Structure 1
């Protein structure tokens, strides 16, 4: 495994992964593994394998040595060794090597398929806090039956806060796009939108907007999925610039809004983080999906994004490999950019180490008021 530049990295400290998910704890065959690699449901019958990608190369290069294989071992050998060791041992080895101390876990996806926050923290040897998915809470309230949707949602969110949740997440990008209104929908607008709404999958701009405004009113740092995702979203509607009216209207609250993943709109997200006090961003799953080319994303993001507004995350789901390569590529990508700036005389080594510490964990601790 390549090591990030030594001149900048030693003082970064443990990572805070501010957006991630649980792990699959059972053994996976090749089809099961490839189904979890990226946002495709599996390899195309008209293509080859998902290992034929920058992500596949990163897994083979960086994870193989931790399974006692040579770097870039063939995919067949890698998957066979993974089965030989067993999921528990693979998860332990890879998560231990990732160097992630704190995990902020989105619990709104994969129930019954992946482990929960406490078990994830135990495997990683760190601590975990919950991020509540807003649309899931709304759907739970509807399924339970309610005569006071707004009151019941607020009660559940406050209960989650009391139990230690440190933020909320909106998947408006998947449901209605990011053109949320500046004004919170009224009670009448909310009731009208809920009439006939499906409790299995809420698809309503007024509901998603009401949930997002409500989370900020409650003081919950609010994550938005932005940009790259699976085929269930329309990428054209996921440009974070569509949030401008919402961000302008909510800035005075001073509650962080965090833009996840950002690709291919990472420059747009960096601009928003610059001009709005409460906006933060990460490169999330963009990092591991672009593999060794992810360094370019960090350079382009830092063109405008303030150093105090960029956060580390993996958005790892299911596979410990995604945690490990997300952490390694983050350190190599950001570290490489900083190291180039130091070498060119555009920042000191102390400046580089300071920026590294901010992005690796300090920014997340500040944004989420972590202990």
Structure 2
């Protein structure tokens, strides 16, 4: 039997569908908007009085918690901390703001160039963001385009009735066509009207002829004479009414003919000084509600202060629902509880929907959900104690209002996660660009003490709690990191100790000298005998291990911090995070990468020699030997990967005996490398259980080249298509210019250079690029997507990607032009003169020694990546080479096979 504690747990932790919210501002635009507006609709001079409102005073107290500030911190302290976040930890901060949100239905018609696109927000929530199309914005955009094309009758032409009528017909056809397109758009959950702000909710219902006459009259007499002066804002009674009526007719037709039901939201009640409060009473909508019974209508913002009117409409009309948003956090605590009680006086629970109405700031999402949960808990517990509801009924009410009602009304077909076993939230751009630095001008990477002071506890407690509850028998955690030489290092912690570490904000201390040792623990001159590093597990990268693991365990990737919690310059993973942040913050570019894991499966013969696992074998084949021998193991690997949340796109045989490829999906860059390492471990562990060695050696058998190809795409939510294409060209121009030095990271062993040959479909021997050309190191797959082919499994992928980003940044910041021409043939088939015509004049390094010399003298890469890291890397690679050179060929071959 459920208890009040069970009820409280549901109220406090149930994932929510936010049925109405808005886009976040870009970091560069945050300071132009006042966070005071989070708790009020006041603007201008009236905003200054907000400091004395109960809603603001309460928000200050709660924001101290979000910002990790002391209890006596005032508003100025909060604003200073917020400025620090904008300059240092913005996206990881946002991850905290969105905890608990499953789906967002986003009205993205509020702003355009100042905000992130709707789907950018996917990265912070459990599922995805869907659009709510604002019909007045659609109409304004169409009219703006008509004006640009000279097809709106402006000036004296307004007196020409025929021209105005034709323009109206053209506009209405374009508007209705757009609405129909959006009805059929799977990314659109519904529609919204802000007619409340423009001409009020009293939509005039009439016959078709009268509606047409009213709309044309308003279009000609009221709208056209002033449209170019008011930025095409639509606020003429007949015109606004017509847009709502047209939308309702189209939604009705879709519901009847195509069984597509998409609701229409109405702003009601609470609004800024631009609204006529009397016309914001939802009672004015009653004729429209009656006229269109097949259109589901959502009354937004609790219709404050008209909660009872809205609740009555939602009670007596099947097609009306009441949204419980905006009053959180814009009303006092007592007011919020009163509003909820009034909304629930007569309104069926099945008609109530939750929303944040958050806009511009991540803090509003956090405050709205936190305050709603607090008020909702107080009310439902009271109803249970007063015998108005049983505990079970109250739990169902919470789940319905948080999730089920919106899921049903908007036809989302989502599943409410089981709060006892729900999966870890999807990994995010905030997790890929953790603690992003918001730099306003390009600048060289400096030491991390320029960053804002890190929080006392770096771990996301809620994410860890959700994960640990989803793995109830968890006993151990593998805390793992990748050293300079691509060796996985690990500390295994019992879950109790790991939980204590996360709860108390501690890190694992290791000697600074550990970063300078070889794979056999031999020390190099990069070893420092003094100093500590602190291993910080990234709980956002946690995965349960596969079922064949002997321990009930999880794995988590980690980074290095200094004693004060700042990113260490000696950490390959943090180096990649920092460079990823820099390219986003300075240039508005995010990167997605997808890896191809090429692996050769070997078995030992009776003499202890490694031989190919399958030999009746070619690229893309499926021979009986492969069916009987390989498929069960490959399928077990694929299943094991899927069981820990790594869904491969495909796997298939490659061209060499025993060689197979597993293709990982594209992800944000740090997440992609974390996933690559966790996936490779699964491949090698499952293979080992079958007495096989799955090796990443670049040439494990004669004639078999094995790489670690990576696909890179540059994306932006802020740049135009043209600007992004120009920066993309500069990025890869920088990569090609620095490629000889990059090889020190991409091809980091003498054995790697057995692939730097002609006619082998590896990377070729020339610095070049070509569209769909597999005999060059850089293949252009299509606009926006490139493949780096000169990367192998010996590389530390954090360092390899860092080096590529550093080279790309050098190209962007210097606005380099792509001087090399598209090479669409095998460079080996060209004469010297033909290569020179394409700009192909530089050969790839032929040995590791050559590549290290190129890196050692490359001040561009060393400056951007950090001198200390690159210098230590060169020292260690030279020491490793010396160690390997002392071995004979057979011993060195076996050693590398068994290490990689």
- 1:155-207 per-position Cα deviation (integer Å, ceiling 9, x unaligned): 11122233321111111111101111233653333222221522711112222
DSSP 3-state at the match of 2:188: coil
| Residue 87 of structure 1, CA deviation | 6.3
For the residues of structure 1 that align with 2:135 and 2:15, how far apart are their CA atoms?
A: 29
Partner of 2:271: 229
| SS of 2:378 mapped into structure 1 | helix
- Whether contact under 8 Å (1:287, 1:330) holds in the other structure is yes
1:148 paired residue among 157, 160, 170: 170
TM-score by length of 2: 0.39
- 3-state DSSP of counterpart to 2:105: strand
Gaps of 5+ in 1: none
Report what 2:40 is aligned to: 38
Match of 1:333 in 2: 375
Partner of 2:10: 11
Provide closer, same or farther for how the CA distance between residues 91 and 296 of structure 1 changes in structure 2, counting only shifts above 3 A. farther
Residue 61 of structure 1, CA deviation: 2.3
Please tell me whether the aligned partners of residues 105 and 128 of structure 1 are also in contact (alpha carbons under 8 angstroms).
yes
Runs of at least 4 residues off by over 4 Å: 27-31
Instruction: State whether residues 67 and 90 of structure 1, in contact with CA within 8 Å, keep that contact through their aligned partners in structure 2.
Output: no
Q: Distance in 2 between matches of 1:128 and 1:274?
A: 29
Q: State the 1:308 CA deviation.
A: 0.6
Secondary structure at 1:318's aligned position in 2? coil
Tell me whether 1:166 sits opposite 2:185 in the alignment.
Answer: no
**Which residue is equivalent to 2:200?**
177
Q: Tell me the secondary structure at the aligned position of residue 300 of structure 2.
A: strand
Q: Does 1:275 align with 2:316?
A: yes
Between the aligned partners of 2:144 and 2:184, the Cα distance in structure 1 is 23
8 Å CA contact 2:85, 2:93 repeated in 1 = no
Q: Matched residues in 2 for 1:124 and 1:55: separation?
A: 26
Cα deviations by residue, 1:47-91 (Å, 9 ceiling, x for unpaired): 54x333233223222222222113463111111111122267355
TM-fit CA distance, 1:225: 0.6
Decide which of 180, 191, 205 is 2:216's aligned counterpart.
191
Shift of 1:349: 0.6
CA distance in 2, matches of 1:110, 1:58: 28
Give the C-alpha shift of residue 30 in structure 1.
9.2
Distance 1:173 1:193, change over 3 A: same
Q: Deviations over 1:241-262 (max 9, x none)?
A: 11111111112x2x21000111
Cα distance in structure 2, aligned partners of 1:29 and 1:111: 17
Counterpart-to-counterpart distance in 1, 2:382 and 2:133: 38
* Aligned CA distance change for structure 1 residues 343 and 43 (closer, same or farther; 3 Å): farther
Match 1:369 to one of 384, 387, 411: 411
Closer, same or farther: CA 63–285 of 1 in aligned 2, 3 Å: same
Q: Specify the alignment match of 1:304 in structure 2.
A: 346
Q: Is residue 38–residue 329 contact of structure 2 (8 Å, CA) maintained in 1?
A: no
Change (3 A) 1:290 1:95: farther
Deviations 1:314-339 (A, max 9, x none): 11111111111110111111221111
**Residue correspondences, number:** 363
The answer to whether the Cα contact below 8 Å between 1:296 and 1:333 also exists between their aligned partners in 2 is no
Hey, what's the Cα distance between the residues in 1 that align with 2:108 and 2:71? 33
1: CA distance, partners of 2:37 / 2:117: 20
Q: Which SS does the other structure have where 1:132 is aligned?
A: strand
Please state whether the residue corresponding to 1:24 is helix, strand or coil: coil
Structure 1 residue 263 and structure 2 residue 282: aligned? Answer: no
- Map 1:321-360 → 2, pairs under 5 A: 321-360=363-402
In 1, the alpha carbon distance for the partners of 2:120 and 2:72 equals 30
**Kept after mapping to 2: 8 A contact 1:295/1:334:** yes
Matches within 5 A, 1:50-129: 50-71=50-71, 73-86=73-86, 89-90=89-90, 92-97=92-97, 98-124=99-125, 126-129=127-130
5+ unaligned residues in a row in structure 2: which ranges?
147-166, 252-261, 414-900
Per-residue deviation, residues 188-231 of structure 1 (Å, max 9, x unmatched):
33222221522711112222222222222333311111011011
Quick one: distance in 2 between partners of 1:306 and 1:179?
25
How far apart, in 2, do the equivalents of 1:44 and 1:151 lie? 42
Measured in 2, the distance between the counterparts of 1:216 and 1:9 equals: 40
Structure 1 CA distance, aligned partners of 2:87 and 2:266?
31
CA distance in 2, matches of 1:169, 1:215: 10
Contact persistence 1:266–1:283 (CA under 8 A): no
Say which SS state the counterpart of residue 109 (structure 2) adopts: coil
Cα separation, 2, equivalents of 1:279 and 1:88: 44
Larger radius of gyration between Structure 1 and Structure 2 = 2
CA contact (8 A) 1:34 1:43 kept: no
Could you tell which deviates more after superposition, 175-184 or 299-308? 175-184
- What TM-score, normalized by structure 1, do the two folds share? 0.90
Alignment of structure 1 residues 276-295 onto 2, 5 Å: 276-293=317-334, 294-295=336-337
- Please identify, of 330-339 and 237-246, the stretch whose mean Cα deviation from structure 2 is larger: 330-339
SS of the residue 2:178 aligns to: helix
- With over 3 angstroms needed to count, the CA separation of the structure-2 counterparts of 1:44 and 1:129, relative to structure 1, is same
Q: Deviations over 1:78-107 (max 9, x none)?
A: 111111222673554355354111000001
Cα distance change of structure 1 residues 177 and 15 upon mapping to structure 2, 3 Å threshold = same
Contact 2:203 2:241 (8 Å CA) reproduced: yes
1: CA distance, partners of 2:87 / 2:193: 31
Taking a change above 3 Å as real, the CA distance of residues 65 and 151 of structure 1, as seen in their structure-2 partners, is same
Give, in whole Å, the separation in 2 of the partners of 1:92 and 1:125: 15
Q: Structure 2: how far apart are the matches of 1:216 and 1:21? A: 23
Of the three residues 231, 235, 238, the one matched with 1:203 is: 235
* Aligned counterparts of 1:94 and 1:102: Cα–Cα separation in 2: 15
Q: Which residue does 2:134 correspond to in 1? A: 133
Contact 1:270/1:302 (<8 A) preserved: yes
Contact 1:40/1:231 (<8 A) preserved: yes
